[in-house]
Chain A
């Protein structure tokens, strides 16, 4: 199963709408980095509105993807993390400190633009 990655001007938009298993998550990591390389995108929004479980593995993959994209010159914003997911992440002791977050896709794009302009 592959997660579709959409391109919009300089941005890449991803909406994850399935229950992520490990393989899909790793595949996604690879796909996204390739896509950044191909398109030269400067900003990425990953929308997690439909994700209802993030365990420590998926959290690590997401955190890694943010750091990796950063290395390749693309800023990542995670959007739409559900309250229940946020609470479990905190309980797990995962804070994703380096990651920028936003309430929804729209806010995410605004934040990206602000950060890239600075």
Chain B
């Protein structure tokens, strides 16, 4: 897939950069203030996962369109160790890093669509979509 923009995640500060970009982007697409916060928070979670578990990766943004509605598509790609048990990380309260364990299931609740593919040793790709209401 060809994306309009990508933000590289290497340093901790890149998390803030990515979510600020995502907030501006979603504002341009016409999202309300609450949805802007939802999207920015989801990006923050995704970016932090990349930074914490994979070391480096990128977050890509694009506009998507469907019959009568449009939305934002965000893809987080890394080439880190991958996730062994996807159903486990999608459980509320599961964390290997001492966090709240709200990360991925939280992202799923914040967004409208959520897809995750991961291969051990090769990396993880998480694709989320939110539609303008």
Which A residues are closer than 8 A to B by beta carbons? 19, 21-23, 52-57, 59-60, 82-85, 87-88, 91-94
Within the complex, the shortest CB–CB distance from A29 to chain B, in Å, comes to 14
Min Cβ gap A40→B in Å is: 30
Nearest Cβ on chain A to B16's Cβ, whole angstroms: 5
By a CB distance below 8 angstroms, the chain B residues around A59 are 100, 102
A-chain residues with CB within 8 Å of residue B44 when the two chains form the complex: 53, 55, 57
What residue of chain B has the Cβ atom nearest to residue A52's Cβ? B37
Q: Mark B11-33, 1 if CB is under 8 A from A, else 0.
A: 01101100110010000000001
> Chain B: interface secondary structure?
helix
Q: State whether A55 touches B16 (Cβ < 8 A).
A: no
Question: Distance in Å from the Cβ of B20 to the closest Cβ of chain A?
Answer: 7
**Shortest Cβ distance from A53 into chain B, in angstroms?**
5
Q: Is the CB of A93 within 8 A of B99?
A: no
Number of A-B contacts (CB under 8 A): 74
Q: Which of A52, A54, A60 contacts B99 (CB 8 A)?
A: A60
Contact of A84 among B20, B37, B100 (CB under 8 A): B37
A-B contact pairs, 15 of them (CB 8 A): A19-B16, A21-B13, A53-B37, A55-B48, A56-B102, A56-B106, A59-B100, A60-B99, A82-B37, A84-B33, A87-B34, A92-B102, A92-B110, A93-B92, A93-B106
The 8 A CB mask of B28-51 against A (1 = contact, 0 = none) is 000001101110110011001000
Nearest-neighbor residue (CB-CB) of A92 within chain B: B106
Chain A residues whose CB sits within 8 angstroms of the CB of B92 once the complex forms: 93
